[in-house]
């Protein structure tokens, strides 16, 4: 399935050239499908091995495509498709089994995961590139995987000054009977905490994109605000769950290779902090228009937000 945001569709409906450009973008992303799927499945195999899961079987797999302006944070349609698939998978399981990840709050949390993965694929920053793959243990025995890949085009005569991006998102749900039998400790708060860190990495990448001239200040403000709202939702849930943010959090490497890495909320991410510091340095030489961004970024560094 391929869908197009309303703002891009409005332009496409007006000119043959715009429709041709969109068709070209979607054709390009479809041509990459076999390579993207191979990478996705390889990353899944690696992550399952790292988690010592040896009996996983596929219970659902699909992919979807969305075309939008690069600055738009409107992956809701794709997120809705993915979470609908998740609900269908949950409904097909043993009705007597406990599925704590299927609560409305957990579905909302997974929507944030989908949006973050898709936004990471759209970003050109190396600090967020690895976040375009995600593995989540939704409940004992149920694993969800996501991968997103993007391509974009810029044509001022057709779409104006902003680039248009087509994003393909792949999603796969897998089941492990051994994991159910082991009934390993699981908390939705761990998924929330991981996604919180990922969203902040995207925010750091957006500041890098702004300093590199890849985003306008208005685009940065819009996207940063959207992620701030999502982060606040997660922080509220973590507070309600009494999640201890003073302790280190073990995260699987998102790129699909290597040992788990440790992140401490108390010290933040040194990589993200350096990305933001370098961006501030460049923004400081770009004029008074960037004062608000610089002040906000400095305040976040001071509070170990990143």
State which H helix or E strand residue 144 sits in.
Answer: strand 142-153
Q: Pick the closest to residue 69 from 25, 20, 125, 16 (CA basis).
A: 25
Cβ-contact 86, 144 below 8 angstroms: yes
Q: First CA to last CA across the chain, in angstroms?
A: 36
Per-domain residue ranges of the chain: 2-184, 193-302
Q: Pick the closest to residue 117 from 160, 170, 153 (CA basis).
A: 170
Cβ-contact 278, 208 below 8 angstroms: yes
Q: Strand runs (DSSP E) across 2-56, as ranges?
A: 2-4
pLDDT value for 137: 81
pLDDT value for 254: 37
Q: Pick the closest to residue 51 from 178, 163, 170 (CA basis).
A: 178
Alpha-carbon distances of 70 from 24, 41, 66, 118, rounded to whole Å = 16, 27, 11, 11
The single residue listed with the structure tokens 């399952």 is 48
Q: Where are the alpha helices (DSSP H) in 160-216?
A: 177-182, 188-211
Query: Which SS3 state, helix, strand or coil, does residue 74 take?
Result: coil
Can you say how many angstroms the Cα of residue 155 is from the centroid of all Cα atoms in its chain? 26
Query: What's phi and psi for 183, nearest 5 deg?
Result: 45, 50
Can you say how many angstroms the Cα of residue 270 is from the centroid of all Cα atoms in its chain? 20
Pairing type for strands 57-69 and 261-264 reads unpaired
- Helix-then-strand count for the chain, H and E: 12, 7
What pTM does this model have?
0.61
Separation CA 13–CA 245 (nearest Å): 49
Collect the ranges in the chain with pLDDT lower than 70.
1-18, 69-77, 91-103, 105-106, 124-130, 153-163, 180-190, 241-266
CA angle 65, 68, 73 (to 5 degrees): 100
């Amino acid at each position: 399935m391929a869908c197009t945001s309303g703002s891009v569709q409005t332009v496409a409906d007006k000119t043959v050239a715009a429709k041709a450009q969109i068709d070209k973008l979607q054709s390009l992303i479809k041509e990459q499908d076999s390579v993207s799927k191979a990478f996705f499945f390889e990353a899944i195999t690696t992550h399952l091995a790292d988690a010592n899961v040896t009996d996983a079987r596929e219970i659902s797999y699909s992919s979807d495509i969305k075309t939008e302006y690069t600055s738009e944070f409107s992956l809701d349609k794709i997120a809705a498709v993915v979470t609908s698939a998740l609900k269908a998978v949950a409904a097909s399981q043993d009705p007597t089994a406990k599925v704590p990840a299927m609560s409305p709050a957990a579905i909302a949390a997974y929507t944030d995961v989908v949006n973050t993965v898709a936004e990471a694929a759209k970003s050109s920053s190396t600090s967020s590139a690895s976040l375009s793959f995600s593995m989540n243990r939704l409940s004992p025995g149920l694993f969800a995987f996501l991968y997103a890949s993007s391509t974009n085009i810029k044509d001022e005569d057709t779409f104006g000054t902003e680039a248009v991006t087509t994003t393909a998102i792949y999603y796969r749900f897998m089941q492990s009977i051994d994991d159910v039998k082991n009934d390993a400790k699981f908390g939705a708060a761990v998924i929330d905490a991981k996604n919180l860190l990922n969203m902040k990495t995207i925010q750091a990448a957006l500041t890098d994109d702004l300093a590199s001239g890849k985003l306008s200040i208005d685009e940065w403000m819009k996207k940063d605000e959207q992620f701030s709202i999502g982060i606040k939702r997660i922080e509220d849930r973590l507070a309600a769950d009494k999640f201890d943010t003073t302790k280190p959090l073990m995260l699987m490497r998102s790129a699909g290779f290597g040992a788990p890495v440790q992140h401490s909320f108390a010290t933040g991410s040194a990589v993200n902090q350096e990305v933001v510091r370098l961006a501030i340095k460049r923004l400081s030489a770009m004029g008074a228009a960037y004062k608000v961004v610089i002040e906000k970024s400095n305040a976040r560094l001071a509070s170990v937000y990143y």
